[in-house]
Amino acid sequence: MPGREALDIMKVAEAQPVRDAKPSLMGMTRDDLADALRSIGIEERQVRMRVAQLWHWIYLRGVPSFERMTNVSKDLRAVLAERFVIGRPEIVAEQVSVDGTRKWLLRFPPRGAGRPVEVETVYIPEEGRGTLCVSSQVGCTLTCSFCHTGTQKLVRNLTKEEIVAQIVVARERLGDFPHMSAEPGAIVPREGRFVSNIVMMGMGEPLYNFDAVRDALLVASDGEGLSLSKRRITLSTSGVVPLIPRAGAEIGTMLAISLHAVRDDLRDELVPLNRKYPIAALMEACRAYPGLSNARRITFEYVMLKGVNDSPADARELVRLLRGIPAKINLIPFNPWPGSAYACSDWDTIETFAEVVNRAGYASPIRTPRGRDILAACGQLKSASERLKVRERLALEAMIGGADED
């Protein structure tokens, strides 16, 4: 909508139920669902079939209540409704950018003695696909010096339910589920969906919440449910080397590495985890990542910091470092945030850097900022939050587009 200045901020919290005391089936794996069914006395010989039914309704059809599960007997629907919910988080706010980027502020109930937490999930529509940027933690234990999340303490890990719920809410709000279409019986084909790609590039380090992220991504990639192919899911890590082989073996999605520097002394500063797992060890883990080929490459994220990591010599070293690894390079213009010690490289510098990388045979897309008007960008969300009462930062877009070109 050209010329539209005002933000489309919708308060939808009132419409959403706050968490019921009943356990939620959202985010459950097939094994979890089987246990839940056993706990209400479903006979063992029926468990498999009932799991398949629930799976279909919760993840493929995306229904929010048991009433809609028309092939489940009325009696069982009543028991299920009495004992469980299909939880949705509270949507505190939904913002739509003039470029179509959407940002949701989701509130999840307290766990144990904790407080409710809020996370942001961002949707970026592009030609022929739409990418959802999902968070894995509230805050982060790591302290990358250019990242705003790095200034926030880890509040807690998100659960598998909360990770899957970010995807379900986005699909629901975008009208991606078949029960929301004009022909409620129709199964929406994969290509017809708004959310076609997922990037774990929101708040937090996904590999430090390994089990929940693994389970959630296996639910998301299940072909009988949310049906996002693993090739269209990208897990981004700052380089938790010992867990990269497990990510390959147990999750099997695409991998993105937040590299950002080509020398250990500089990377130690930008990504302090490098002191524990230096560049050589990280590269070795990348080389060993299963299933790599020209069609299945690792994305290396590289944030462009003025006068810090953006020289042509850095670009040449980057190319040398990645030799032999099927790789894509994602150049991310730095998103400044109040109090950050860095500036974004000049456009010419970024282009010169990209040229060196291109000449070496790598496509090196430079991410164009999206959703600026709703502050859906790295490192900006905290300041946004202060003004818009959006408390947590989620991640963004800049690096998203090139994470998976499929």
Among ligand SAH, ligand SF4, none, partner that 335 touches (CB below 5 to 8 angstroms by kind): ligand SAH
Q: Do the Cβ atoms of 354 and 364 come closer than 8 Å? A: yes
Q: Which of 106, 132, 142, 396 binds ligand SF4 (CB under 6 A)?
A: 142
Site string for ligand SF4, 175-204 (x = CB under 6 A): -----------------------------x
**Whole-angstrom Cα distance, residue 218 to residue 29?**
8
Residue whose C-alpha is closest to residue 216's, from 132, 273, 148, 149: 132
Asked if residue 197 binds ligand SAH (CB under 6 A), the reply is no
From 147, 378, 392, 397, the catalytic residue: 378
Residue whose C-alpha is closest to residue 401's, from 343, 315, 352, 331: 331
Asked if residue 378 binds ligand SAH (CB under 6 A), the reply is yes
**Whole-angstrom Cα distance, residue 204 to residue 350?**
27
Among ligand SF4, ligand SAH, none, partner that 399 touches (CB below 5 to 8 angstroms by kind): ligand SAH
Beta-bridged to residue 107, according to DSSP, are 90, 118
Site string for ligand SAH, 320-359 (x = CB under 6 A): ------------x-xx------------------------
Asked if residue 217 binds ligand SAH (CB under 6 A), the reply is no
The token duo for 134 is: 């999902």
* 144 among known catalytic residues: no
Residue whose C-alpha is closest to residue 149's, from 236, 27, 261, 263: 236
Q: Which of 24, 149, 209, 221 binds ligand SF4 (CB under 6 A)?
A: 149
Beta-bridged to residue 24, according to DSSP, are 85
From 120, 162, 269, 392, the catalytic residue: 120
The token duo for 342 is: 């860095």
Binders of ligand SAH among residues 139 to 178 (CB under 6 A) are 144, 146-148
* One-letter amino acid for residue 246 of the chain: R
Binders of ligand SAH among residues 287 to 316 (CB under 6 A) are 301, 303
At 347 the three-state DSSP class reads helix
The token duo for 156 is: 């807690």
Q: Which of 122, 147, 167, 390 binds ligand SF4 (CB under 6 A)?
A: 147
* 82 among known catalytic residues: no
Size of the site for ligand SF4 (CB under 6 A): 11
Distance spanning both ends of the chain, measured CA to CA? 28
Any idea which residues carry the catalytic annotation? 120, 378
Question: What is the binding site for ligand SF4 (CB under 6 A)?
Answer: 140, 142-144, 147, 149-150, 204-205, 238, 258
